[in-house]
A and B are shown apart, each in its own frame.
Chain A
């Protein structure tokens, strides 16, 4: 049994590595074969041919494509993502290293909030199937999923930041204290930071809560139809035990997987929220890098997001196989 699970994990890991390799290769091709020269915006018209050549050499762009690819892969393995164009003297890794924690704080807080609300809401909706409350509730949830996040963010900003001036409108702290925090720990301990978190977190959570809620609701409805739930009713368990201990517990499994996947996709998908709230995270950096044609930075940010997504997809698979004993034994099940 445990050996089967180990095999499964190893196999999934190899598969993830392969997927990542293909993505990295596609990324390389995308940036090299693009119609415009990656240095076009960097190279001034005043540059001489020699200057241009030196620059190309510096970024390794004078070598044949195959060689460039090898260098690129080796550098990725060394986590050397190169230098930025637009932030002088900083490496891509410096910039992304500063951004990543901010993105993670925002994503995790919103996800936890959204999933807590979503799971509870889903159970309630399933229990109240067919009632007026359920119809209103699910319609509201659908609306939060249909409304563009940036628009909800703009409305909240207008009210809370501009009209009532209750909360700050952008960034992670007032401009003068922004870089005062020596360590991430100091930042996390600072009430100013958390005050800045409120609006973006709420906006993101409002959008994110829909998926777990609807998923939990439909899983509950499905599980409640299963024979083992009928069995626990027949066995005289209380309705609370039937709903929570049996039904909700089993219905939670796919939701937990969705949460794991959600971490990956939200880190990549927060671009819009980070833009609206000027949140100094990965997404905002990516947008800026593309706008300023800072290709090493854009490529690096994209790479980092892809790594996180692939890794979380891997974790989700593993988690599911650990939570549901049937998955690990799929090979055996096929035999009989």
Chain B
């Protein structure tokens, strides 16, 4: 029986720049105890849909037409007071950014109990008992009821919000990006809680996310949303086995999969159309590699394409053929979108792509295509193995921060604390080599990145770049170093000065490094933009950052990093802020350019599958230390350190047939304010032994250079296990 039924829903936002048709004719059915995953990239209308269902649209948002029926009641005709009663008792919502959904000045327990008493009619005593139960259910310590939200970690806050959502036993739970922005281990634990609750309470769930692997893990059916419409609807297993819409096809191939890695990830170039003036034809046509003339004219409707599956594509009858063609990643790269944000789309078709718009191509696609190497994990290095090609060496480098100290701190009464952000890490990097740094947030990987580019100085140890010790460079040498080392940032929207044109941003490094001639500078800037696939470069020169999409901006950031032709690039979470559909494009371009320019690269990411895709070697960091390092494939497929094993096990697999194994470690990295005599991971380690607490584990290496810092493989491997004690220590 259908519990929620939406028919042809249209929601508009009135803005200064026109009416945005955020949801444009969506129909959806949700059966009792169904778990639907609603997938889509940012701006596709999925959150608006949620807000329309519970009717908390912002002031400028209006439901134009359509019908929302919940258990037979027409929600749009319900008086506001009754709708209000329905919220949370019947439809509970875990909002996006649920981290900030708790009132910061009220204890979490009071908020939960207030909800139970005011909305659920519980007595004070019953509310207290129920609150304790709920905290138990979501795996929170009941002492935490007395704590304020700021004393909770991100994962704990998420659990608390889930507890609140379940408080009144709703018949429908809508969760908007419930695990986004959480560390992979926490994410795994939260998904486990959700999965358990689904089973135990027989919940009906609508899960909104951009992450198809989350859907694969939690949901039994899938709807794909694109530009205000639903473009595909299917049960989870057939969906993941054989998507029936080109967009889903692209999404699936854009997603890195640790279990069965692809040689090449697909990037769906461009970005969704402007919803103020949606195109007359198919909304995906502009980015679709299979586009035909008719796609621009006929608006495809959601139609049945097989056993209970629906798709909105004019070519759905040829889908098997298209699916086969889609396996070729170069197909997806031939789509070029140079449109700026807020401009009408340009028409292009499959047939016309060979000679794009009649302009002389500067470089042919074959040369420039972001084709990966045959096996990205075993890159034969172009250079030899001698010390001559050694570019960078980290020798026992540490970074400590003192906080709350000084006269001001003393006067404020802050106690001085030392944060050991990076502890005695050592590694080397050869020219042209790429290294990935992975770990949970707070593990020191970003600090390492800053040390590598000398944004901060090391407290101890030595960083040698091309033979020069970075701690003893003079100003002139430092300027030289600055021209050879660059940093790429996580958030492209912040990485460029909003007040500068792109040309100004790109030319700054050249000015600083004494390029006097304006024409030469312009030439270099245009050439670099071209290299990062922003073509034609001239279009972008006088634009401001807000005129570009996230993917385009990140290419500009890459261009700025490369404009001086450096030897070494540090990329800190280069794609984590971007939509999945364009991530691969950035990675492919970076990888291609690194090869062309002989660039050594350090990628910093929490996402192991991404590092596996881009890096020759991977280093796993925990509490400021490297606990394991080695060739990517080795580390991913034969993880040695229990922490690495946990990290890999926690990565959700975009395949509903594979369920992630339960983790044996708890979430939550301890504060890096103490130093350990033994292994830093001992507190959380499932394999902890007596020696781990007192003896520093050594690095054990195998012949491939795969090293792990763990007693399991050393002389202490027979040390007594400490399960009980470790449990108690928590």
Interface residues of A (CB under 8 A from B): 6-12, 14-15, 18, 226-228, 230-238, 241, 246, 249-250, 253, 323-326, 329-331, 333-336
By the criterion CB–CB under 8 Å, are B105 and A231 in contact?
A: no
Chain B residues, CB < 8 A from A237: 84, 118-119
By the criterion CB–CB under 8 Å, are B164 and A235 in contact?
A: yes
Most buried by A among B84, B95, B412: B412
By the criterion CB–CB under 8 Å, are A8 and B98 in contact?
A: no
By the criterion CB–CB under 8 Å, are B118 and A12 in contact?
A: no
Chain A residues, CB < 8 A from B524: none
By the criterion CB–CB under 8 Å, are A236 and B150 in contact?
A: no
> Is B671 located at the chain interface by the 8 A CB criterion?
yes
Chain B residues, CB < 8 A from A231: 95, 98, 101-102, 161
Q: List 17 A-B contacts (CB under 8 A).
A: A8-B412, A10-B413, A228-B102, A234-B95, A236-B84, A236-B85, A237-B84, A250-B103, A250-B104, A325-B150, A326-B104, A326-B148, A326-B150, A330-B414, A331-B414, A333-B150, A335-B673
Q: How far is the CB of B519 from chain A (nearest CB, A)?
A: 48
By the criterion CB–CB under 8 Å, are B403 and A227 in contact?
A: no
Please name 14 further chain A to chain B contacts, defined as beta carbons within 8 Å, in addition to the given A8-B414, A249-B105, A335-B403, sorted by A numbering. A7-B413, A11-B411, A227-B98, A227-B99, A228-B101, A232-B103, A234-B95, A235-B119, A236-B85, A236-B89, A237-B84, A237-B119, A238-B84, A323-B105
By the criterion CB–CB under 8 Å, are B411 and A236 in contact?
A: no
By the criterion CB–CB under 8 Å, are A228 and B100 in contact?
A: yes
Q: How far is the CB of A249 from chain B (nearest CB, A)?
A: 8
> Is B185 located at the chain interface by the 8 A CB criterion?
no
By the criterion CB–CB under 8 Å, are B105 and A227 in contact?
A: no
* Contact digits for B70-108, partner A, Cβ 8 Å, 1 yes 0 no: 000000000000001111110001010111111111000
**Dominant SS at the A interface?**
helix
Nearest residue (CB) in B for A333 is: B150
Report Cα–Cα, A253/B105, bound state, in Å. Answer: 10
Chain A residues, CB < 8 A from B102: 228, 231
Report Cα–Cα, A335/B674, bound state, in Å. Answer: 12
Interface residues of B (CB under 8 A from A): 54, 56, 84-89, 93, 95, 97-105, 115, 118-119, 148, 150-151, 161, 164, 403-404, 410-415, 417, 419, 442, 671, 673
User: Knowing A237-B118, A335-B673 touch, does A325 contact B101 (C-beta < 8 A)?
Assistant: no
Q: How far is the CB of A331 from chain B (nearest CB, A)?
A: 4
> Nearest 6 pairs between A and B by C-beta?
A11-B413, A236-B87, A7-B413, A227-B100, A231-B101, A331-B414
Say which residue of B85, B101, B410, B673 sits within 8 Å of A11 (CB atoms): B410
Chain A residues, CB < 8 A from B161: 231
Report Cα–Cα, A226/B118, bound state, in Å. Answer: 21
Say which residue of A15, A235, A331 sits within 8 Å of B403 (CB atoms): A331
Report Cα–Cα, A12/B100, bound state, in Å. Answer: 29
Q: How far is the CB of B626 from chain A (nearest CB, A)?
A: 21
Report Cα–Cα, A173/B412, bound state, in Å. Answer: 46
Most buried by B among A228, A231, A334: A231
User: Knowing A325-B148, A326-B150 touch, does A9 contact B413 (C-beta < 8 A)?
Assistant: yes
**Dominant SS at the B interface?**
mixed
Q: How far is the CB of B126 from chain A (nearest CB, A)?
A: 18
User: Knowing A11-B411, A236-B88, A323-B105 touch, does A331 contact B56 (C-beta < 8 A)?
Assistant: no
By the criterion CB–CB under 8 Å, are A11 and B412 in contact?
A: yes
Q: How far is the CB of B231 from chain A (nearest CB, A)?
A: 28
Say which residue of B85, B101, B118, B151 sits within 8 Å of A227 (CB atoms): B101
Say which residue of A15, A238, A253, A336 sits within 8 Å of B411 (CB atoms): A15
Q: How far is the CB of A234 from chain B (nearest CB, A)?
A: 5
Report Cα–Cα, A208/B673, bound state, in Å. Answer: 47
By the criterion CB–CB under 8 Å, are B413 and A246 in contact?
A: no
Nearest residue (CB) in A for B87 is: A236
By the criterion CB–CB under 8 Å, are A18 and B105 in contact?
A: no
Report Cα–Cα, A248/B105, bound state, in Å. Answer: 12
By the criterion CB–CB under 8 Å, are B100 and A241 in contact?
A: no
Say which residue of A6, A235, A253, A323 sits within 8 Å of B88 (CB atoms): A235
Q: How far is the CB of B298 from chain A (nearest CB, A)?
A: 39
Report Cα–Cα, A324/B118, bound state, in Å. Answer: 24
By the criterion CB–CB under 8 Å, are B97 and A227 in contact?
A: yes
Nearest residue (CB) in A for B107 is: A325
Q: How far is the CB of A224 from chain B (nearest CB, A)?
A: 11
Chain A residues, CB < 8 A from B103: 228, 232, 246, 250
Say which residue of B54, B99, B119, B411 sits within 8 Å of A14 (CB atoms): B411
Chain B residues, CB < 8 A from A241: 118
Report Cα–Cα, A11/B408, bound state, in Å. Answer: 9
Report Cα–Cα, A10/B415, bound state, in Å. Answer: 12
Chain B residues, CB < 8 A from A15: 411-412
Chain A residues, CB < 8 A from B671: 335-336
By the criterion CB–CB under 8 Å, are A335 and B413 in contact?
A: no
Say which residue of B95, B99, B404 sits within 8 Å of A334 (CB atoms): B404
Say which residue of A8, A230, A236 sits within 8 Å of B413 (CB atoms): A8
Q: How far is the CB of A78 from chain B (nearest CB, A)?
A: 26
User: Knowing A227-B97, A227-B100, A246-B103 touch, does A7 contact B88 (C-beta < 8 A)?
Assistant: no
Nearest residue (CB) in B for A325 is: B148
By the criterion CB–CB under 8 Å, are B104 and A234 in contact?
A: no
Report Cα–Cα, A105/B442, bound state, in Å. Answer: 54
Say which residue of A11, A234, A246, A333 sits within 8 Å of B87 (CB atoms): A234
Nearest residue (CB) in A for B412 is: A11
Report Cα–Cα, A11/B104, bound state, in Å. Answer: 24
By the criterion CB–CB under 8 Å, are B93 and A7 in contact?
A: no
Nearest residue (CB) in B for A228 is: B103
Most buried by A among B101, B404, B417, B671: B101
User: Knowing A227-B95, A237-B118, A336-B671 touch, does A331 contact B410 (C-beta < 8 A)?
Assistant: no
User: Knowing A231-B101, A236-B87 touch, does A7 contact B414 (C-beta < 8 A)?
Assistant: yes
Report Cα–Cα, A213/B99, bound state, in Å. Answer: 30
Report Cα–Cα, A31/B674, bound state, in Å. Answer: 53
Nearest residue (CB) in A for B161 is: A231
User: Knowing A234-B56, A331-B404 touch, does A12 contact B412 (C-beta < 8 A)?
Assistant: yes
Chain B residues, CB < 8 A from A226: 100
By the criterion CB–CB under 8 Å, are A11 and B148 in contact?
A: no
Report Cα–Cα, A7/B412, bound state, in Å. Answer: 8
Nearest residue (CB) in A for B83 is: A236
Chain B residues, CB < 8 A from A249: 105
Q: How far is the CB of A28 from chain B (nearest CB, A)?
A: 23
Report Cα–Cα, A165/B419, bound state, in Å. Answer: 71
Report Cα–Cα, A90/B333, bound state, in Å. Answer: 92
Q: How far is the CB of B181 from chain A (nearest CB, A)?
A: 13
By the criterion CB–CB under 8 Å, are A230 and B410 in contact?
A: no
Chain B residues, CB < 8 A from A326: 104-105, 148, 150
Say which residue of B56, B148, B419 sits within 8 Å of A233 (CB atoms): B56
